[in-house]
Amino acid sequence: MCFSAPVSFAAAALLVPIGLRSLHLAWHSDRRLLGLAAFPLVFGIQQFIEGLLWLNLGGFHAQYTQAAALGFLFFVYVFWPIYVPLAARALEHRGTLRRILLLIAAFAGIMGGLLYLGLLAGTSELQVSVLQHSILYQHRPLFDLQWNDWVVRTGYALIVTLPLLASSLTGLRIFGALIALSLVLSALYFDHAFTSVWCFFAAILSMFILQLIQTHAGRVSGGLTLPNQPSQASPP
């Protein structure tokens, strides 16, 4: 499979309007869905940034290569590990799980923040290159601990998939399963550029969110709500 600037920009052009539509539906049906509804929009922005990175690696504005890479990795290391548990928490009615999701977000924020600060400060020695038609991000590991890549990826996978898989919403559990599958396939078949490839697959899968929001919006209009919670639909 070939990835390139046009592919990233095409993904962004597809995902941004889907995200805006999802946000519109969530705002007018159940605003607890807003966090989830923003997934396609944010993934679209992330893909646009990687499209710029592709251009810079090709010599368009080579001096901005590091800036584009840091912009992309901000979503990988900081935004998604915090945002996914919080978005799932907003839709959860079980108190114990809500507390667990908050702890997961806090832990992920601390670890991801420390790693990203190392990238910003230059101490992690970020290197970006193209390998087999994909972008490879290389840097020193957190705290200089030479953890096995599979251990790190497994931990990351748990943080971004378990909150979805544990959700009370069937549609969100299905989305979580798809994300988990994309992680496994990316690790098995695109190990040379796992970060870039998985983010692309996850971005495309986020289109499923629009269907989930549309389904829920229809239930709200029919008088149904999220499990064990009163409707927060906005007035017509």
Q: What is the DSSP string of 193-229?
A: GHHHHHHHHHHHHTTHHHHHHHHHHHHHHTT--STTS
Residue owning tokens 């940034």: 49
- What is the per-residue pLDDT for 235? 40
pTM for this predicted structure: 0.86
Check if the beta carbon of residue 49 is closer than 8 Å to that of residue 65: no
Q: Which of 89, 35, 82 is nearest to 212 (CA)?
A: 35
Q: Which residues of the chain have pLDDT under 70?
A: 1-2, 142-149, 219-236
Contact 66, 121 (CB under 8 A): no
Q: Quick one: pLDDT at residue 144?
A: 60
At 129 the three-state DSSP class reads strand
Cα–Cα distance, 17 to 224 (Å, whole number) = 27
Q: Determine which helix (DSSP H) or strand (DSSP E) holds 222, and give its type and residue range.
A: none
What pLDDT score does 154 carry?
Answer: 85
Q: Which helix (H) or strand (E) holds 128?
A: strand 127-131
Distance CA 236, CA 28 (A): 8
Q: What is the pLDDT of residue 194?
A: 85
d(CA 120, CA 51): 21
DSSP one-letter code for 223: T
Neighbouring residues of 121: CB distance < 8 A, sequence distance ≥ 6: none
5 φ/ψ angles, rounded to the nearest 5 degrees: -60, -45
